[in-house]
Amino acid sequence: MIKPHGADQLKPLFVYDEARREALLEEAHSLPSIVISSAAAANAVMLGGGYFTPLEGYMNLADSMSVAQSLQTTDGLFWPVPIVNIVDDVSAIEGASRIALRDPNVEGNPVLAIMDVDAIEPVSPEQLKGMAEQIFATADPKHPGVATFTALGGYMLSGPIEVLNFSYFQTDFPDTFRTAVEIRNEIKERGWDKVVAFQTRNPMHRAHEELCRMAMEDLGTDGILIHMLLGKLKPGDIPADVRDASIRKMVEVYFEPNTVMVTGYGFDMLYAGPREAVLHAIFRQNCGCSHLIVGRDHAGVGDYYGAFDAQTIFDERVPEGALEIDIYNADHTAYSRKLNKVVMMKDAPDHGKDDFVLLSGTKVREMLGKGIAPPVEFSRPEVARILMDYYQIVDGKQ
């Protein structure tokens, strides 16, 4: 199986030894503590699960600025996005060398991790804005990732952590949330060698389904990892439980047994386009996948990125040998009325716009909200039913 990024073995920071974990939870009662941001909590969950191998904790300011500028830490590790813990008030932990990090997303703010404090560094609004512009390719405060990142606070906490739980992800999504450790183990158990990963934060329509099938066939893989984001999204995005149900139904009805793993990971969406695509590649390599599908406007939002910027970054800014995972470049896929099947639009140069079944997101939502199923060429009826039920509830509350 493919090696993890920057290491021979996966490095999950979750404390698997039960006695050690209980001792740390007991110790946490006597430690200074701080409630961290949702973004930092999601980073802790990803570190805990081995997704961010070989990192051992949160980056300091020098590493964060180096990653933002040059996609590598100060010691040369290739990495696309700063993994940070930024807070707005450090009065409760000033002078502490060891602290408890409390979860903002679970009632009562339980301890999520224990951190050895290497540094507490002030970070200025100008530094945050500068890093944001490099990470997101814009400083526009309307960009959801920029807005979140620049509002995190004025102090950066860095140092190694030991993770004590997986926040709400394990309890809210027990059948779907999986660590990189668990995914690697399941790939081995299934006897798979070549595995392609499909990233999604949305329900999967017919075109997504067929794209997965195309990638599996073109690459000759043993299976596909459908890997959905379970964390925070921008307003208007479909909740994780609804996406989970619709994707599972599609796989159950339309894919051959033992060809698909439906799983999810505990991370808040960055909407960082090309940079986030590279991060997706790193943690899918850590999951044991040999390939990642990178499609049109991968991890994008609005009009901030070119349609294929998330593909070209792998050629332009990823040094040769920096990653072992390979990228499967995908064009926009749609149902062809001429060919009576889903195709990549680049593979149908003789087609005009009217030869494809194309629906805007707004149009699809409008139809679903009225209880009208999109055409079967666009969405499987079983998937459409789940989405119709959701949108009729949402629209009924508005």
Question: Which residues does the annotation mark as catalytic?
Answer: 201-202
Question: Which tokens go with 93?
Answer: 């932990």
CA-CA distance, 147 to 151, in Å (whole number)? 6
Which residues are paired to 263 by β-bridges? 227
User: By the 8 A CB rule, do 199 and 278 touch?
Assistant: no
CA-CA distance, 295 to 188, in Å (whole number)? 27
- The half-sphere exposure of 192 on its side-chain side, counting CA atoms within 13 A, is 27
Q: Quick one: how far is CA 233 from the chain centroid?
A: 10
User: By the 8 A CB rule, do 55 and 47 touch?
Assistant: yes
Residue type, 273: G
Question: What is the C-alpha R_g of the chain?
Answer: 21
Question: For residue 40, what are the CA distances in angstroms to 124, 129, 151?
Answer: 18, 18, 13
CA-CA distance, 315 to 23, in Å (whole number)? 47
Place of tokens 């294929």: 308
CA-CA distance, 283 to 202, in Å (whole number)? 19
